[in-house]
Structure 1
Amino acid sequence: MKTINTLTRRRFAAAALLPAALTLATGLGLAGNAAAQVRDFPNHAVELVVPFQPGGGTDALARAFADASRKHMPQSVVIVNKPGASGAIGWQDVINAKPDGYKLAVVTVEVTTLPHMGLAKFTHDDFTPIARLNADQAAITVRADAPWNTIEEFLAAARKDSGTVGVGNAGNGSIWHLAAAALEDKTHVKFNHIPYQGAGPAVLALLGGHVDSVAVSPAEVTTYVQAGKLKTLAVMADQRVKGFEKVPTLKERNIDLTIGTWRGIAAPKNTPPEVVAYLKSVTVKAANEPAFREVLEKQNLGFAYADEAAFKANMAKDSAYFKTLMAKLNIKN
């Protein structure tokens, strides 16, 4: 009887340990699978979400990057346009995605502006920055047949008919909205701000005569300026912009305002470090491809590479700056 009791106790003990052993084995299996997925990255196409309509500078940069990356990774980078809410829809989609490196975003300065307006629940800290690729200043552009040939004439019209001169932008809370608002503040005029789902649609609206002007980057109007359909009156930069050498800066016109955007590649927060390291390697190689630089130069997109750490610091600095600016200008949703 004593032997039977001993055997029974041993069987119960073994049975009690079985679930823990199975759990441990399952955990090891899952960990092994996860590690294998990281080692095999990428084994299928990578999505790069552009949170604006096709046709703007952000879309042009994304497509140039996707083409340049082909030499440096075995899978394609596929561009997916998901416009809406000044970029918030596309960015939220990436933030909500599985952090495995297969869904990335082209992030712009708006990831540091929208949260301060209550237009986004996320912040720049919800992304893992890979690299910044570009930086551009804002500019005021009108149709070629517009009655204004200088920024002074444009501002005089806005001052005379307060709130009637329409300025198109890439959406409420976008950098181009803030650029026009900052110009209002500096010059004591009032515009009629008209939002669109990206700079591309805003420029098309200008071409169609639906808006008087746009506050977007030179890159987003280059083609039409060169074709003689539009004219840029001033750039909000410290120095004149390459390709727009005949266009004065606001500072040259005694308006102390410099404001613009940047664009880069980011992944969802908690993406595995090994995957991030791989993406960083691919990104710097793609950024140095002559074909990528040529597209940026042709589009007048300023090349401004910054690595992960510098890009993260850039985001934090701009978030603090725009929080203060919006409070000063009383810009709300």
Structure 2
Amino acid sequence: MVLDDGSMWGSTKTDSTVERRQFIKALGVGATVGATGVTGAAGQQSEFPSGEIRLIVPWAAGGGTDRTARKLASLAENQTDASYFVTNITGGSGSAGFRRAANAKPDGTTVGVLTVEVCTISHLNISNIRPDDFAPVMQYNFDPASLTVHQDAPYDTVEGFVKHVKNQSGQLAFSNSGIGAIWHLSAAMFAQEAGISNKVKHVGYDGGAPAAKAVASGEVDATTTSAAEVAPLVKDGPLKILGVMGENRVNIFPETKTLQEQGFNVKSGAWRGLGVPVKTPENRVNALNEAFKSVYDSKEFKTFMKNNGFGMVYRSSDEYDQFMQSEYKRFGDLIKTLGIGQ
């Protein structure tokens, strides 16, 4: 079905007949968790939104954010009486989708899939959307940036890489998914921590995969995309990962140390979570949190995330709120230092 803005809605179901039945059900049937709702941690009754629950994905269909959102929706539909639909609204570095979710009716029936860009685009003067426009529901994912180089590079550690960079007369090139995007900001953050900001130049590509291929072809010296994006070129050659910028190692490369383990205090990467319009009643937020947390804890979702190389990190509504506020300030300070987005 084409929406009034030209975008498409997609059911989590694949059979067209089931889609039609679910859509009819969404128009007329109230959704509950149990007979009388669910009880939140604070002991108050949580009221689950009625009918159709629409997830707004601010990125194109088929990407990681879209795929994780559709998995959440399909599993949640198995646990509640609601019908779940995923709508992709793209453009403006995520701002079009964020804005649609933020401006929706605050009744819990529209859930935005929030990504790290909600903490950067206002600093980059792309949009005025920021974390304060949402009532956080939960965080479900974190994918740290990985420092990846060619397998023939004469170093196998982050320390060795930094020493090599410092000994060069010129600059080394870092590829990323676009200037101001998370992988560029992660590289810049690392360069600051390592004291090599003046020795590297950042080259933007149209996505993480092309950025990784640029290292393989020798166009650039290193990249800071996610481990999942470089995985095919690492497992089969010709790349190698020197370290990841997370608190923990990643499941797909458990032998690869974090930067913190190697003496560099850098934590940065892409993340995903859920949020609703800021004025959504707390009991609706709590109900959504409980429903999606149940999905997060399920074996099916854990298997999906692991098999596809997505890192799992859970933060509750309050924890996710604090995390986003911290990220908003941290990236704002970094972007100001870099002098971009002005």
Give TM-score scaled by structure 1 length: 0.73
RMSD over aligned Cα atoms: 3.4
Structure 2 partner of 1:131: 138
Aligned amino acid, residue 234 of structure 1: G
- Structure 1 pair 85/173, CA: closer, same or farther in 2 (3 Å)? farther
Deviations 1:224-266 (A, max 9, x none): 5334464322212345433323323334444332323432111
Distance in 1 (CA, whole Å) between partners of 2:212 and 2:55 is: 26
Cα deviation code 1:180-213 (max 9, x no counterpart): 0112223343434344565456456667777654
Structure 2 CA distance, aligned partners of 1:270 and 1:92? 14
Match of residue 188 from structure 2: 181
Q: Could you say which structure has the higher helix fraction?
A: 1
Deviations 1:68-127 (A, max 9, x none): 222123344333444444322321232233334343222122212222232321110101
Decide which of 228, 231, 242 is 2:240's aligned counterpart.
231
Aligned mate of 1:308, from 295, 305, 317 = 317
Could you tell me how far apart the structure 2 residues matched to 1:197 and 1:69 are? 33
CA 1:292–1:180: 2 relative to 1, 3 Å: same
The equivalent of 2:330 in structure 1 is 321
Separation in 1, partners of 2:260, 2:284: 44
Counterpart in the other structure of 1:25: none
> What amino acid is the match of 1:249?
T
Using the TM superposition, name which of 215-224 and 103-112 deviates more: 215-224
* Unmatched tracts of structure 1, length 5 or more: 1-35
In structure 1, the partner of 2:273 is 264
Listed as ranges, the gaps of 5+ residues in structure 2 are: 1-26, 32-48
Q: Which of 1 and 2 has greater Rg?
A: 1
2:296 counterpart of 1:296: no
Once the two structures are aligned, what percentage of the paired residues are identical? 32
Look up the SS of the partner of 1:280 in the other structure. Answer: helix
CA distance in 1, matches of 2:225, 2:332: 21
Q: How many residues align?
A: 296
Report if the CA contact (8 A) 1:236-1:260 is conserved: yes
Q: Residues 77 and 249 of structure 1: is their aligned pair in 2 closer, same or farther, counting only changes over 3 Å?
A: same
One-letter amino acid of the counterpart of residue 52, structure 2: H
Q: Is the 8 A contact 1:65 1:292 kept in 2?
A: yes
For residues 290 and 100 of structure 1, what CA distance do their matches in structure 2 show?
Answer: 30
Aligned to 1:168: 176
Kindly indicate whether residue 108 of structure 2 is the aligned counterpart of residue 101 of structure 1: yes
| 1:235–1:248 Cα contact (<8 Å) kept | yes
Q: Specify the SS of the correspondent of 1:247.
A: coil
Q: Which of 94, 97, 104 in structure 2 is aligned with 1:87?
A: 94
Bigger mean CA deviation after superposition, 81-90 or 105-114: 81-90
Distance in 1 of aligned mates of 2:209 and 2:134: 25
Closer/same/farther in 2, CA of residues 277 and 59 from structure 1, 3 Å limit: same
